Amino acid sequence: MRSRQRMFAAVMRLLLKCLRLGRRRRFKLVRQAQQLWHYGHLCLRSLLYNSFTNSDVVLDSLFEPVYWLVDHVTRWFGVVFVALVIGLTSSIVAIVYICLLPLILQTYTPAWICWHLAYGHWNLIMIVFHYYMAITTSPGHPPQAKDDLTGVSICRKCIAPKPARTHHCSICNRCVLKMDHHCPWLNNCVGHYNHRYFFSFCLFMTMGCIYCSISGWEMFRDAYAAIERMKLLEKERLQVAANQTYYQTPPPTFSFRQRAFHKSVVYLWVLCSSVALALGALTLWHAALITRGETSIERHINKKERQRLQKKGKVFRNPYSYGSWDNWKVFLGVDTPRHWLTRVLLPSPHLPHGTGLSWDLPPCVTEQRAPLLAI
């Protein structure tokens, strides 16, 4: 009897000991899990901590995947956009030569024929030249050897000195001298060395579209009326054919050539008018920026700087603006009066003033201005 009681007591002591060990082990695991959680939370906060964090930084961080997607899509679709520009422009030129030019030669007076031939071919040459130069000319980048490079700041992506008016393009993944923007229709950045080509292309393309829209207005009205008349006659012909019996399909009322001609004229006028409105607005916007001596990026920077100085009772002045007229002369590279003909009205591959690394006073500027601190 006593032996059984002793055995039972021993078993109970062993069971209680196992339960105490299991409870300690369980508490130890819980404490280790809590320590790991606190340690990981502390590490995460230390990695994400920023004393300058605000709502703008949080929004930029949230939209970073969207920015990454837009940058990569724009980079790969640039070739598609360039092909689209070339294809649409080539289709308009083909319609003019195949459909409109024979009609012009048959119906217009010799003076108007000479005017259309001269202006049309001059405008076409200017469009092709400036578009080709805009897509093939590098906008300019800071040199790789950064020993002698003077910069006003450090690019946080290139980790290199950044000269004045230079900005980093996330699509090209490089810093661009006097960057204006990355144009997907050029598949290239618009910067110091190709800014003039880009604006000239926009200007002459707008002029060409306006020229086609105005000169082809009467043809468009006639073609649109003819298409409506075709639809009406085709509808009447089908109604008559439904009430009669034919051993074969009756011949069409209008030939394929007539249909193609009228539809081509309508396509030309609608496309040219749409491009003239959209591209004309963009050209006016860049013309206003050139008049003020700033780029698209600098417009936002200068606006913030102007507001900041206005709160302090000061007046902001753009350090790269030399006056409206001189800004255009510097942008177009006009040093002498004859340059308005040789460099503006005719194709010219001349380089812009300066290297894009430093911004000294151009020789064509008429007034010397007080030096200002670069933005």
Res. 188: pLDDT tops 60: yes
Helix (H) or strand (E) holding 183: strand 181-183
Q: Which of 99, 169, 183, 209 is catalytic?
A: 183
The confidence band for 370, taking pLDDT boundaries of 50, 70 and 90, is very low
How much of the chain, in percent, has pLDDT values that exceed 90? 42
pLDDT of the residue at 205:
97
- Mean pLDDT for 214-224 is 91
The lowest-confidence range among 62-76, 94-108, 121-135, 175-189 is: 62-76
Res. 29: pLDDT tops 80: no
Res. 101: pLDDT tops 70: yes
pLDDT of the residue at 21:
55
- Mean pLDDT for 106-116 is 91
92-101, 149-158, 193-202, 225-234, range with greatest mean pLDDT: 193-202
Sequential DSSP letters for 37-57: HHHHHHHHHHHH--TT--HHH
Query: Which amino acid would we find at residue 195?
Result: H
51-55, 66-70, 350-354, range with greatest mean pLDDT: 350-354
Q: Give the residue carrying structure tokens 């076409």.
A: 124
Instruction: Give the pLDDT confidence of 277-334 residue by residue, as tens digits.
Output: 999 999 999 999 999 999 999 998 888 888 888 888 888 888 888 989 999 999 999 9
pLDDT of the residue at 46:
67
- Mean pLDDT for 188-197 is 95
Instruction: Give the pLDDT confidence of 330-347 residue by residue, as tens digits.
Output: 999 999 999 999 999 999
Please, which residues have CB within 8 angstroms of residue 283's CB and are 6 or more apart in sequence? 199, 202, 203, 206
Name the packing angle between helices 195-215 and 217-242 (round to 10°): 60
Asked if 175 is an active-site residue, the reply is no
**Cα separation, 39 vs 54, whole angstroms:** 25
Give me the chain's average pLDDT, please: 83
- pTM beyond 0.85: the answer is no
**Domain extent listing, the chain:** 63-244+251-345
State the sign of the Cα–Cα–Cα–Cα dihedral 170, 173, 175, 181: negative
Res. 371: pLDDT tops 50: no
How much of the chain, in percent, has pLDDT values that exceed 70? 75
pLDDT of the residue at 372:
43
Res. 132: pLDDT tops 80: yes
